[in-house]
Structure 1
Amino acid sequence: MEETISLKEMFQTVKKRFWLIILISITLATLTAILTFFVLTPVYESKTQILVNQARSDQQLYNAAEVQTNIQLINTYNVIIKSPAILDKVKSELNLDRTVEELNDQVTVTSAKDSQVVEISVQDPSPHVATQIANKTAEVFQSQISKIMKVDNVSILSKAEVKADVSPVKPQPLLNIAIAIVVGLIVGVGLAFLLEYLDNTIKTEQDIETILELPVIGAITNIKEVPKATNTAARAPLNTRAPQRGETYGS
């Protein structure tokens, strides 16, 4: 027997278990807020930029081929910046209490397409440490690239600085809570339909018609129990009148 469900039935299912959907969403949002504000450690980001460009005098003409060569070298430079040859010196000069592998995970190197500018981003729980690592990485790379590649075409374009109103890049409370609410709604709706699917009890005449595929010709409604009459209501009132002259009790 093929079962179908209409939009009306879907709406009724959601309406029937609306409290469950809202409860799951509120619970997930609350747990996410607690996790974001009180458990997760804020992480700050600092960036510095280096320029890959051969130094030239005013007499030298612009060489397009040389610029293209510098651009092609950037992919190689991106790998060298995160190599142990650079990061190990950064770790030693800053006396960092972490391994080179952990430092590598903190450093991100990016460059725009067809651009000679390379951006070094560093994330750390301390904004000051992130700034120190970013600037030191650029300085060490600039000094070591001439020994590694036998070229001198790197200069520091801008240094990283700690701003007065610095804010963490993660976690992002509003975004995390919004995602938790959406996930809660999805989970709640899914659970509501699952409970409705697993509920095989018969509640209405329509359920009988759907399951047995037979028309309903009658239904017995619930009959409420009638309260029993009190005995005092059936009793006659007692005669408490005093007997008159010539009368006796019971006459």
Structure 2
Amino acid sequence: MQLKEYIRVIRKRMWLIGSIVLLVCAVVGIKNVYFTPQVYEATAKLIINQTPRPDRAGVVDYSVVQTNIALTNSYKQIMISSAIMDQVVASFPDLKVTPTVLAQKLRVNTAGDSQVMDVTVRDLSYTKAVKTVNAVAKVFKRQIPSIMKMDNVTILSEASLTDPAIPVNSNPAEQMFIAFAISLLLGIGLAFLLEVLDDTFKNEEDIEKELGLPTLSLITKMKKEDKRSDSSTTTPKQVGEGQYAAINQ
């Protein structure tokens, strides 16, 4: 197909493409407003930092730093273990959550080679997410000395209830743009598919292309107005309806 034919197919099936775009965008918009629960996220920050020796006070010991970084991977597994989850549930019964569900809501991340751990909890309630992540951070800091035999965890920052509660799974503009782009491509693809599957002749160009012969004559389609005008000017007459003159005998 040439560019003009592409444009012709799109213009011909514009109603189909537009209908698909409107339908998909409407479904996505209704789903976002009425059927998608808003999920909130709260984050607390911890740092793994061993207390330096008295003779090394004020001096950065890179071997200690590397040890702390290596410990973060172990601490990430310890945090989501039953040893911590059970203690959180027992110490904070007002959270009304089981250890298994709590572990599923919890995410622990580190930014590259960093001693800082980001502890994140997602929940349908922002207030509950804040309380849960702060509870996990406090219990983890309290339990690490008995588990690792060292007190090297410090809470850098806790989640705050005063921070704006913004859903992390709701971005209407982005989702509508994605829905528009996908539905537009789907509509155009369907339009070209229907055009390929349609093997009927629509005009003289299609016949010339198929047969390889020029068009000698063309019978145009008669409009309704032409039919009415012809019927009004030429009215059929029955036998005996013509004009005649009587002869008196």
> What is the TM-score of this pair, normalised by structure 2?
0.84
Question: Aligned in 2, Cα 1:206/1:157: closer, same or farther, shift over 3 Å?
Answer: same
Cα offset, 1:97, TM superposition: 4.1
Structure 1 residues 19 and 109: alpha-carbon distance in aligned structure 2, compared to 1, 3 A threshold: same
What are the Cα deviations for residues 129-169 of structure 1, in whole angstroms up to 9, with x where unaligned? 10011111111111122222222111100011123532211
Residue aligning to 1:136: 135
Task: Tell me, in whole angstroms, the C-alpha distance in 2 between the residues paired with 1:6 and 1:54.
Answer: 70
Equivalent residue letter for 1:179: I
Matched, 1:227 2:231: yes
Task: Letter of the 2:9 partner, please give it.
Answer: T
Unmatched runs of 5 consecutive residues or more in structure 2:
none
| 1:83-94 alignment, distance < 5 Å | 83-94=81-92
TM-aligned CA distance change 1:98 to 1:164, over 3 Å: closer
| Aligned residue in 2 for 1:74 | 72
Q: What count of residue pairs does the alignment treat as equivalent?
A: 235
Cα distance change, pair 45–204 in 1 and its aligned pair in 2 (3 A):
same
Greater helix share, 1 or 2?
2
8 Å CA contact retained: 2:120, 2:133: yes
| RMSD value, Cα | 2.6
1:187 aligns with 2:186: yes
Give the % identical residues: 35
What is the CA–CA distance in structure 1 between the aligned matches of 2:218 and 2:10, rounded to whole Å? 29
Choose which of 12, 19, 24 in structure 2 pairs with 1:28.
24
Quick one: structure 1 residues 26 and 163, their matched pair in 2 at CA, closer, same or farther if it must change by over 3 Å? Answer: farther
For 1:223 and 1:24, locate their aligned partners in 2 and report how far apart those are by CA, in whole Å. 32
1:244 counterpart residue number = none
1:31 deviates by: 1.0
Quote the residue 2:8 is aligned against: 12
Superposed counterparts of 1:51-200, under 5 Å: 51-56=47-52, 60=57, 61-95=59-93, 96-163=95-162, 165-200=164-199
Task: Work out whether residues 208 and 215 of structure 2, in 8 Å CA contact, stay in contact via their aligned partners in 1.
Answer: no
**Aligned-partner SS, 1:166:** coil
- Counterpart in the other structure of 1:42: 38
Amino acid at match of 2:185: I
Post-superposition Cα deviations, 1:39-84, rounded to whole Å, max 9, x if no partner, equal 1111111010001001347752331100110011111111221222
CA distance 1:117–1:221, shift in 2 (3 Å): same
Whether the aligned pair in 2 keeps the contact of 1:47 and 1:120 (CA below 8 Å) is: yes
Q: After the TM superposition, which segments of 4 or more aligned residues of structure 1 sit over 6 Å from their partners? A: none
Q: Answer yes or no: is the 8 Å Cα contact 2:106–2:120 preserved in 1.
A: yes
Task: Name the TM-score, length of structure 1 as normaliser.
Answer: 0.83
Q: What code does the residue aligned with 1:87 have? A: M
Tell me, which stretches of 5 or more residues in structure 1 are unaligned? 237-248
Distance 1:74 1:22, change over 3 A: same
* Corresponding residue number in structure 1 for 2:206: 207
Aligned to 1:240: none
Residue 231 of structure 2 aligns to a residue whose secondary structure is coil
Amino acid at match of 1:230: T
Distance (Å, rounded) in 1 between the aligned partners of 2:155 and 2:188: 54
Contact 1:37-1:173 at 8 Å conserved across structures: no
Seen in structure 2, the aligned counterparts of structure 1 residues 69 and 206 have a Cα distance that, compared at 3 Å, is same
- Secondary structure of the residue that 1:227 maps to in structure 2? helix
